[in-house]
Homo-oligomer: A and B are copies of this chain.
Amino acid sequence: MLDVKSEVAKRAEVVNEAISNYLPIKSPEGLYKATRHLINAGGKRLRPVLVLISTEALGKDWTKILPAAVAIETIHNFTLIHDDIMDRDEYRRGVSTVHKLFGEPTAILAGDTLFAEAFEILTKCEVEAKNLVKAVELLSKVCVNICEGQYLDMSFEEEKFVNEQDYIEMVKKKTAVLIAASTSLPAILFGESEKIINALWNFGLYCGIGFQIQDDVLDLVGKEKIGKDWGSDIVEGKKTLIVINAFEKGVELEIFGKGEASKEEIEKAVKKLEECGAIDYAKNKAKEYVEKAKKELDTLKDSKSKELLKAISDYLISRDY
C-alpha cells in the first residue's frame, strides 16, 4: 500500500528547494516580500508534486522540467493573492493575506509579478523548443480559463438560479484546469502523443472537479480543521453543489447569504443539508469524478507512479483538511 502523504511530502521538499532557487527575494524588497509571502507560508504543493509524479509515470526525468513545477505553483499563488483581494479574505494558510499585510496596490502588483515570473521560469525547462512553445500556449490558455472561472464564481453570487451544469463549468475553469495543466504539462514538454496528453489532462481535470466538490463538503463537515470558518460558504451565500442540490430538492436555508449566523443556526442548516441528502449527493459526485479520472490512466503503462497518481486522486476526496 502506498503512503500517499509521505510520497507527496518527499516530493514537496524538492519543490520547496526549487521554489527558493527560482523565486528569490530581490530588489525592490518591499515588492518581493509581498510576492513571496503566501508561497513561503506553505501549502500542500499538490500541483507541482503532480507535475513530478506525472513525469515519473511517463518514465521521464523530472529534473529537466522542475521549472514547470515551480511555474505551476507560482501561477497558483498569483491567483490566490488576487482572489483574496476580490473576495476580501483576510486569512489564508494561517497567515494574513497579502493585501491585508501589504495593502491592495502592492498585492495587485505581487500577483502580477508572480504571473510574469511563472512564464519566465517555465522557459527554463530543458526540453525541445517546440514543446516549450506548446507548454506556454497551454498554460496561458489555462490562466485565461482561471480568470473566467473566478468571474463566474463571483457572478453566481448575484444570480438567483445556478444549476449543477453551471457549477461544474465554473469549478472546471476556476480549479480543475490548473490541476489538469499540472498532470499534462510533462507529457507536452516531453513531446508525448496527443492520446497520452489528453489522458493526463482529463485525469487532472476530473480530479480537480472532485477536489473542489470535496472542498465544499469540508466547509460543512470538516469543522475547523480546514482552517477557515465552519459553514462560511452557506453564510456567504456561495452556490456550491451541495446548496444547488438542496435547493433543487426544495430545501430552504434561512441563513443562506445572510453574512452572519450563530453556531446553532449553522448546525441547523448543515443538518438540513445532511437530511435532504445533498451532502451525500456531493460526496458521491466527487467520488464519481475521481473514478472517471482513474480510468483515464489506463492509457499509461503500469508503474508505481501511475498507482501513486491513483492513490492521490482517492486521497483528494477522502482528505479531511
Q: Which residue on B lies nearest to A124, using beta carbons?
A: B137
Whole-angstrom distance between the Cβ of A15 and the nearest chain B Cβ: 20
For the residues of A in contact with B, the DSSP-based class is helix
**Interchain CB contact under 8 A, A82 and B112:** yes
Give the CA-CA distance A119 to B117 in the complex, in Å. Answer: 13
**Which listed residue, B31, B82, B115, touches A151 by the CB 8 Å rule?**
B31
Residues of B within 8 A of A147 (CB): 31, 109, 112-113, 116
Interface size bucket, A side?
35 or more
- Knowing A129-B130, A130-B129, A132-B133 are in contact, say whether A151-B120 is a contact too (CB < 8 A): no
Residues of B within 8 A of A154 (CB): 105-106
Chain B CB within 8 A of A251 CB? no
What is the 8 Å Cβ interface bit string for chain A, positions 110-151, against chain B (1 contact, 0 not)? 011101111110110000111011001101110110111011
**Interchain CB contact under 8 A, A109 and B28:** no
Chain B CB within 8 A of A152 CB? yes
Residues of B within 8 A of A118 (CB): 140
Chain B CB within 8 A of A155 CB? yes
Copies in the complex: 2
**Which listed residue, B31, B120, B140, touches A116 by the CB 8 Å rule?**
B140
- Knowing A108-B108, A112-B143, A155-B30 are in contact, say whether A123-B137 is a contact too (CB < 8 A): yes
Give the CA-CA distance A146 to B85 in the complex, in Å. Answer: 21
Give the CA-CA distance A260 to B272 in the complex, in Å. Answer: 57
**Interchain CB contact under 8 A, A123 and B136:** yes
Residues of B within 8 A of A82 (CB): 108-109, 112
Give the CA-CA distance A119 to B143 in the complex, in Å. Answer: 10
Q: Which residue on B lies nearest to A118, using beta carbons?
A: B140
**Interchain CB contact under 8 A, B129 and A28:** no
Additional pairs, 13, CB under 8 Å, beyond known A82-B109, A123-B140, A136-B136: A28-B155, A31-B151, A85-B108, A105-B154, A112-B112, A112-B143, A112-B147, A113-B147, A115-B143, A116-B146, A117-B140, A119-B136, A129-B133
